[in-house]
Amino acid sequence: MASTVAAWPMVALGEAMTPVSRPESVQVDKEYRLLGIRLDGNGPFLRETKLGAQIAAPTLWRVEVGDFIYSRLFAWRGAFGVIDDILDGSYVSGEFPTFRPLSEQIDIEFLRLWFRLPSTLATVEADCTGSTPLTRNRFKEQFFLAMQIPLPPLDEQRRIVAQIEALAARIEQARGLRQETDGLTKLLLPRMVSNLRFQESDWTTVRTAVSADRGSIRTGPFGSQLHHEEFVDNGIPAIGTRDVQVNTFVLNSGWYVTQEKFEEFKRYQVFPGDVLATIVGASIGRFCVVPENIPLAFTTKHILALTLNDRAMPEYLSYILNFHERSRSSLFSQVEGSAQPSLNSTKVLDTAIPLPQIIEQQRIVAYLDDVQARVEALKQAQAETQAELAALLPSVLDRAFRGEL
């Protein structure tokens, strides 16, 4: 049965750990493996390997397996860890204090886990607080050595470490399964849409689905017409690439122009049922439908707006252009540029799409809406699971150091 914290003696780290220092003058022809420390208790890692001739500092400090080190600058973010055999003989700068157990009274892994406790890091952060709320000082060695740690017998420390590591492995396995499920979820709609069966005679181009009326195809004002300094804090929203997500319209780019300025760009106004496409940059090839509750808004130069005729449902076209493998291939085969990929209205209009009768489009949209709703519900459940997994290890650590594990 686990002992309780009340029975554990409180020991200053200075009584259990001793500073070690192994400085070496940098030699120009020697290769040095240089370490960093990840935040949130994720330990040291090999940051880079350099020749001495590439290192400005005259001195580096060698670390050995079993050393406990931390970053003075980022201690408040949990930058603590133990040197393992893979990193044995690597080097750090003078900003990484290094320590060894002083006697057989502390297990180094027990100490590592203790520095992942929120309560421990709160103490570290308090010691790092600068003269103002926005400044932070380095976590000095005297603060480290003065910290009080509850120390059960060494065998109990090792038992606790073994139990925490076993639980952590199970948490990591669960996290891996959740990520795998997340990946499969992202593939679900593309697979469902690409597996829809169409007659070859159904295949045509986007042009067939677009209205012949003037202004049914439009991109927003170009840089010569609208400059960033002309945006204001509120007014008529300008639709950018962040607003056009995959099959979803989210008006949150935060770009606005005055009513007077909008009068110059009224021909770029969007309306419910328009299909929007991103045509420039990393977000290229996203499509969505303008919803019924759209406020007065207009497109910027990176967005193409299409008004459809009565041969096509906007929701159907958005599903096909976002997810159908053949249509996506047709679209991206026309992309120009590598540093700044782009499309134009002609290329989007020439993209291949299946266009069955409206009644069939309605059936497909109803089916895919149901699939998408299920996907969104699954994503929500996955997000909640991820949050639970993220909270589980701190909870386990808290129980362990209260003597309840």
Residue 3 counted as domain residue: no
- Same-domain check for residues 336 and 376: no
Instruction: Look at residue 21 and give its three-state secondary structure.
Output: coil
pLDDT of 26 reads: 95
Q: Is the pLDDT of residue 3 over 60?
A: no
Instruction: Look at residue 184 and give its three-state secondary structure.
Output: helix
- Same-domain check for residues 120 and 182: no
Residue 1 counted as domain residue: no
Instruction: Look at residue 170 and give its three-state secondary structure.
Output: helix
Mean predicted confidence (pLDDT) in 34-44? 92
Mean predicted confidence (pLDDT) in 104-121? 89
What whole-number distance in Å separates Cα of residue 260 and Cα of residue 262? 5
- pLDDT confidence tier of residue 281, bands split at 50, 70 and 90: confident
Per residue in 40-57, pLDDT (tens digit) is: 888 999 999 999 999 999
- Same-domain check for residues 55 and 105: yes
Supply the CATH number for residue 256's domain. 3.90.220.20
Cβ contacts of 332 within 8 Å, gap of 6 or more: 285
- Same-domain check for residues 251 and 349: yes
Per residue in 362-380, pLDDT (tens digit) is: 999 999 888 888 777 766 7
pLDDT of 129 reads: 75
- Same-domain check for residues 248 and 315: yes
Domain end residue (candidates: 355, 372, 394): 355
Residue 205 counted as domain residue: yes
Residue 188 counted as domain residue: yes
What sign does the CA torsion over 168, 174, 175, 180 have?
A: positive
Contact indicator for 151, 11 with CB cutoff of 8 Å: yes
What whole-number distance in Å separates Cα of residue 251 and Cα of residue 291? 10
Cβ contacts of 274 within 8 Å, gap of 6 or more: 289, 290, 305, 306, 307, 308, 314
- Which range marks the domain in which residue 231 is found? 199-355
Domain end residue (candidates: 151, 183, 216): 151
Instruction: Look at residue 349 and give its three-state secondary structure.
Output: helix
One DSSP character per residue, 258-322 reads -HHHHGGGGGGB--TT-EEEE-BSTTTT-EEE--TT--S-EE-TTEEEE-B-TT--HHHHHHHHH
Residue 391 counted as domain residue: yes
Cβ contacts of 131 within 8 Å, gap of 6 or more: none
Residue 369 counted as domain residue: yes
Mean predicted confidence (pLDDT) in 61-88? 94
What whole-number distance in Å separates Cα of residue 249 and Cα of residue 227? 24
Q: Report which of residues 346 and 222 the model is more confident about.
A: 346
Side chain identity at residue 220, one-letter code: G
- pLDDT confidence tier of residue 1, bands split at 50, 70 and 90: very low
Cβ contacts of 225 within 8 Å, gap of 6 or more: 264, 265
Q: Report which of residues 37 and 393 the model is more confident about.
A: 37
Residue 19 counted as domain residue: yes
- Same-domain check for residues 330 and 387: no
pLDDT of 7 reads: 75
Comparing C-alpha atoms, which of 4, 78, 37 is closest to residue 394?
78
- Same-domain check for residues 294 and 393: no
- Same-domain check for residues 261 and 272: yes
What whole-number distance in Å separates Cα of residue 311 and Cα of residue 346? 19
Phi/psi at 46 (5° precision): -75, 110
Phi/psi at 382 (5° precision): -65, -40
Mean predicted confidence (pLDDT) in 207-214? 91
| Number of structural domains in the chain | 3
Q: With pLDDT > 90 as the criterion, what percentage of the chain qualifies?
A: 56
pLDDT of 370 reads: 87
> How high does pLDDT run on average in the chain?
86
Residue 135 counted as domain residue: yes
- Same-domain check for residues 34 and 142: yes
Count of CB atoms within 10 A of residue 248's CB?
16
The CA radius of gyration of the chain, in Å to the nearest whole number, is: 30
Length, in residues, of the chain: 405
Contact indicator for 287, 303 with CB cutoff of 8 Å: no
